[in-house]
């Protein structure tokens, strides 16, 4: 039997249908045309991005789009590395200690203080 819950980003929610334990099928909001073409969305829909650089705004928009689609990662536009989303971190259930960009746990398990990053209201930079 399928149940429905919400996968949340910073501003929006997308319905998620649980098919089996550990599996999800995302329904509702399709990916934007710019995302389908491999291009980053033009801007974030989150309020408060005015103080961020253009690159940081692009990261916020990519993260928001990935979370809204229920994706566990997205590709960093500068480095081409895969970056875990808040969805993946919440699924793990605790801070892994790797100084992750979108850690929802405040990077509490990062042992080396020099590796902790500053929080810019949206992610660790």
102: containing domain: 3-115
Q: Is residue 120 one of the residues assigned to a domain?
A: no
Q: Is residue 123 one of the residues assigned to a domain?
A: no
pTM: 0.62
Q: Is residue 84 one of the residues assigned to a domain?
A: yes
Q: Is residue 122 one of the residues assigned to a domain?
A: no
Q: Is residue 8 one of the residues assigned to a domain?
A: yes
Q: Is residue 40 one of the residues assigned to a domain?
A: yes
Question: Into how many domains does the chain fold?
Answer: 1
Q: Give the distance from CA 11 to its chain's centroid.
A: 11
CA proximity to 19, closest of 7, 1, 46 = 1
Q: Give the distance from CA 48 to its chain's centroid.
A: 17
Residue 66 burial class via C-beta count within 10 angstroms: exposed 0-12, middle 13-18, buried 19 and up: buried
pLDDT in tens, 67-100: 999 999 999 999 999 999 999 999 999 999 999 9
Residue 6 has pLDDT above 90, yes or no: no
């Amino acid at each position: 039997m399928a149940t429905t819950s919400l996968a949340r980003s910073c501003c929006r929610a997308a319905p998620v249908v649980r098919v089996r334990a550990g599996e999800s099928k995302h329904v509702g909001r399709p990916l934007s045309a710019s995302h389908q073409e491999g291009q980053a969305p033009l801007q974030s829909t989150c309020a408060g991005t005015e103080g961020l650089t253009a690159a940081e705004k692009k990261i916020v928009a990519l993260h928001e789009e990935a979370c809204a689609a229920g994706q566990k990662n997205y590709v960093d536009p500068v480095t081409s590395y895969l970056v875990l989303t808040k969805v993946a971190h919440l699924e793990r259930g605790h801070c892994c200690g790797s100084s992750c960009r979108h850690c929802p746990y405040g990077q509490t398990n990062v042992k080396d203080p020099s590796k902790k990053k500053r929080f810019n209201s949206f992610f660790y930079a």
